[in-house]
Amino acid sequence: MSELTDIIKNMIRHDGPMDLARYMELCLTHPQYGYYVTRDPFGGAGDFVTAPEVSQMFGEMIGLWLALYWQNCGSPKRLNLIELGPGRGTLMADLLRGTRNVAGLHQALTITFVEKSPTLRDKQRDAINASGFSGDVTWAEHLNEFAADDAMSVVIGNEFLDALPIHQCTFTEKGWMERAVGLSDDGQLQYGLIPVSPLLKVLIEERTDTPALNDLVEISPERDAYIRDVCAVIKKNNGAALFIDYGHDVPNAKGDTFQAMRDHGFVEALKKSGHADLTSHVDFFRTKQVAEAAGAAGFGTMTQGDFLHHIGIGHRAQNLVQNAGDKAEDIYNAYKRLTDADQMGDLFKVVAFTYNDKGVPIL
């Protein structure tokens, strides 16, 4: 049990079963008891390890991608760099360190972190201060608070889209129904089914295949809306967006990818609400459809392994290993972890969007 479990039970008693999207949102970002609001979950002593926490090479490679993109666009004098869900700020700190010799880039940069967690904002502030970056840095809770100006904007997000709420709908004998969280006879949280809303019905029917009994699809108007907001921000002056996440890139994807993680293992999502990371695999096919409908060009997906190799992680790893003494094996293992197909290399994918007719580097 947790404080948040009690709050959610009361909400259900009052308003009836809540859809999975609302449950996910409350568990992750409830202003007092949300998972990300109350802790720093990263690293060996936390619940999971993300790519920037595996090795500095990850942020450095994203930095090189950014520098290439900026140079392709003629090295504009001003560049808004916006990171969605920056965690501890490690990716940004490594990106800044890795690009400090790119003439003019840091002078052009204004950074915005989009982060709901006050705990993680403090970590991001520390990471930026330690990086020595002296330009403007601001924070927002949502991208739509970002004050757009006339400069080009680049949005990046690693393991951000997977944290946005999803709805799960299943095809039953009565037609499509939505998975919801309700209460059992003895007052515990349990899954059930509620009728799908008119909006979800439209989104499901946009899919092209004929459903079979018990088909389960994941739909996220919330993620779609975020992608549209990203597109609105990058539309000006050749902006671009780059997302890295676990997910799939096939039409009409089916199946349950909702997961809860604590202490480096999978746990039951309805136990101890707010004490596990709740995510789903990103539907990159849908994400590209939404961006393209907003007028952007979509690039990728490419596997994380290929993307990092094309930028040059192999050379960087070799260089670090040569100068690392007894840390050489750790660096080699981190390189393998980020790029090998049976580690993070294939599961994680990279997608980019732009309104620039020159495209984006690498993808």
CA contacts within 13 A on the Cβ side of 228: 9
Q: Which residue's CB is nearer to ligand SAM, number 34 or number 211? A: 34
**What minimum distance in Å lies between the beta carbon of 160 and ligand SAM?**
5
CB of 166 to ligand SAM, least distance (A): 12
Give the footprint of ligand SAM on this chain (CB under 6 A).
28-29, 36, 42, 50-53, 85-87, 91, 114-117, 120, 158-160, 163
54 in Cβ contact with 338 (< 8 Å): yes
**Nearest approach, Cβ of residue 222 and ligand SAM (Å):** 8
Report the residue number whose CB is nearest to ligand SAM.
Answer: 85
Report the nearest approach of ligand SAM to the CB of residue 175 (Å).
31
Closer CB to ligand SAM, 91 or 313, in the complex? 91
Of 66, 89, 227, 82, residue with least CA distance to 155? 82
Beta carbon nearer to ligand SAM, 211 or 247: 247
* Min dist. Cβ of residue 328 to ligand SAM (A): 24
Return the number of the residue (87 or 239) whose C-beta is nearest ligand SAM: 87
Q: Which residues contact 330 (CB under 8 A, 6 or more apart)?
A: 324
Phi, psi of 57 (to 5 degrees): -60, -30
Shortest Å, Cβ 277 to ligand SAM: 7
Distances (CA, A) of 317 to 19, 88, 113, 156, 258: 45, 23, 28, 23, 34
Q: How far apart are CA 142 and CA 304, in angstroms?
A: 26
Nearer to ligand SAM, 30 or 316 (CB): 30
Which letter, b or e, does each residue of 91-130 get, where b requires 16 or more Cβ atoms within 10 Å of its Cβ? bbbbbbbbbeebeebbebbbbbbbbbbeebbebbeebbee
Non-local (6+) Cβ contacts of 4 within 8 A are 26, 27, 30, 33, 34, 273, 274
Asked if 143 and 84 count as a contact pair (C-beta separation under 8 A), the reply is: yes
Least distance between ligand SAM and beta carbon 92 (Å):
9
At closest approach, how far in Å is the CB of 282 from ligand SAM?
A: 12
Give the C-alpha distances (Å, rounded to integers) separating 279 from 28, 30, 66, 179, 218.
9, 15, 27, 16, 12
Closer by beta carbon to ligand SAM, 51 or else 241 = 51
Query: Of the two residues 53 and 306, which places its CB atom closer to ligand SAM in the complex?
Result: 53
Cβ atoms of 194 and 180 closer than 8 Å: yes
Q: Between 183 and 347, whose beta carbon lies closer to ligand SAM?
A: 347
